């Protein structure tokens, strides 16, 4: 008879429709027992509608029946809450003192960098009124689910995404919601989304230091925050405010990222500090955290964001952002 381990491994071949991750990746396999007569597999039914469950049942049977010395396969579904199945190594929130500084961009590039390192990564777009993650990744697919939960959508490079924009009828529907509705939606993004097994979940926080980002910091077991700013931020005050908020919530600041730090002109091999002198070191000092990166204002990057092709951005800067983030996490968390 096939060993339990062998059966579990074979379930890597059963890809859940909609999200396109395996049963193992979504942590849906609850129990595997093998005896002389049969293999019995218990799966969680969370976020799977009846049709999907049937499809998974027959696919699972087909895969396991192919194993050596397996005669009979029994697949049973049990109910479980998505939060019982979600297992995330580190949740990292990206915040900024104000909007339009490139917070979503940094959240996306950080996720892309970690994914390229071979980690399983997700992005939660918690900026409900300025949701821009799906657009940058060119995602229009709608998440699927059932009464018991909702499945994230997978980006082209395999990053799990969840955003209010994926749930709205039209991408440009305005979200004019009041505080309680926003905080409930954000809580649902944690409680009802089946994230499964991830090494990192990056949260794109709403800008500023008001109620909305606070709710997120309170609702999620966050490991640490990254603070994004631009050289246009006139004082270190705006960064300090964000640092204070993180500290009040007992969340370590993993580092700061300066965006639109400079413009590089290849023809003359020169960096132009368009928005004034870089304040990277100063802000890092204010945050008592490392400067994780200084991103140039890059027309190519802006174009890729507009086209929904951010995952095609290939730059040494993204890789080094990923490296310094990993270092910061191991140093602080």
Ligand X SMILES: Nc1ncnc2c1ncn2[C@@H]1O[C@H](COP(=O)(O)OP(=O)(O)O)[C@@H](O)[C@H]1O
- The contact set with Mg ion (CB under 5 A) reads 104, 127, 130, 132
Cα–Cα dist 182/127, whole Å: 9
Minimum separation from the CB atom of position 140 to ligand X (A): 17
109 near ligand X (CB under 6 A): no
Q: Specify the residue, 104 or 324, whose C-beta has the smaller distance to Mg ion.
A: 104
Closest CA to 105 of 143, 64, 81, 137: 137
Separation of alpha carbons 194 and 209, rounded Å? 28
The binder of 126, among ligand X, Mg ion, none, by C-beta within 5 to 8 A per type, is none
Spatial separation of the C-alpha atoms in residues 11 and 34, rounded to whole Å: 14
Between CA 17 and CA 287 the distance in angstroms is 43
Residue number of the CB closest to Mg ion reads 104
Which bin fits 276, alpha (ψ -120 to 50), beta or left (φ > 0)? left
Q: Considering only 15-23, 112-120, 164-172, 291-299, which stretch makes contact with ligand X by CB under 6 A?
A: 291-299
For the CB of residue 328, give the shortest distance to ligand X in the complex, in Å.
Answer: 20
Of 285, 180, 184, residue with least CA distance to 229: 285
298 binds ligand X (CB under 6 A): yes
Residue 138 site contact among Mg ion, ligand X, none (CB < 5 to 8 Å, cut-off depends on kind): none
What residues are paired with 227 via a beta bridge?
95, 256
Q: Is 259 in the site for ligand X (CB under 6 A)?
A: yes
Residue from 99, 158, 221, 276 in contact with ligand X (CB under 6 A): 99
Residue 173 φ/ψ region, left for φ over 0, alpha for ψ in the -120 to 50 degree band, beta for the rest: beta
Rounded to a whole number of angstroms, the CA Rg of the chain reads 22
The binder of ligand X chosen from 217, 246, 305, 329 (CB under 6 A): 305
Gap between the Cα atoms of 275 and 80, Å rounded: 51
Q: Which is nearer to ligand X, 34 or 96 (CB)?
A: 96
Contacts to ligand X from residues 143-182, by CB under 6 A: none
Q: Which is nearer to ligand X, 43 or 106 (CB)?
A: 106
| Contact call for residue 216 and ligand X (CB under 6 A) | no
- Per CB under 6 A, residues contacting ligand X are 96, 99-105, 130, 132, 259-260, 295, 297-298, 301-302, 305
């Amino acid at each position: 008879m096939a060993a339990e381990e062998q059966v579990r491994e074979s379930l890597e071949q059963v890809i859940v429709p909609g999200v396109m991750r395996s049963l193992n990746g979504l942590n849906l396999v609850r129990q595997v027992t093998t005896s002389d007569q049969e293999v019995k597999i218990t799966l969680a039914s969370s976020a799977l509608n009846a049709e999907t469950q049937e499809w998974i049942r027959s696919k699972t049977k087909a895969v396991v029946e192919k194993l050596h010395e397996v005669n009979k396969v029994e697949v049973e579904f049990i109910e479980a809450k998505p939060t019982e199945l979600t297992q995330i190594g580190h949740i990292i929130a990206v915040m900024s003192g104000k909007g339009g500084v490139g917070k979503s961009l940094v959240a996306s590039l950080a996720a892309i960098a970690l994914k390229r390192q071979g980690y399983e990564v997700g992005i939660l777009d918690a900026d409900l009124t300025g949701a821009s993650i799906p657009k940058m990744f060119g995602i229009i697919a709608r998440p699927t689910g059932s009464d018991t939960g909702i499945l994230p959508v997978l980006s082209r490079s395999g990053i799990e995404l969840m955003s209010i924009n994926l749930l709205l009828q039209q991408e440009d529907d305005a979200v004019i919601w009041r505080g309680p509705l926003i905080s409930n939606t954000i809580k649902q993004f944690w409680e009802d989304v089946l994230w499964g097994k991830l090494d990192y979940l990056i949260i794109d926080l709403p800008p500023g230091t008001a109620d909305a980002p606070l709710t997120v910091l309170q609702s999620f077991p966050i490991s640490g925050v990254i603070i994004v700013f631009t050289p246009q931020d006139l004082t270190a005050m705006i960064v300090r405010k964000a640092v204070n908020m993180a500290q009040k919530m007992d969340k370590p600041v993993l580092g700061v990222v300066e965006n639109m730090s400079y413009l590089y002109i290849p023809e003359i091999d020169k960096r132009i500090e368009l928005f004034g002198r870089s304040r990277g070191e100063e802000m890092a000092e204010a945050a008592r955290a490392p400067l994780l990166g200084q991103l140039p204002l890059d027309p190519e990057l802006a174009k890729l964001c507009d086209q929904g092709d951010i995952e095609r951005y290939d730059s040494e800067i993204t890789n080094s952002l990923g490296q310094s983030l990993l270092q910061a996490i191991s140093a602080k968390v």
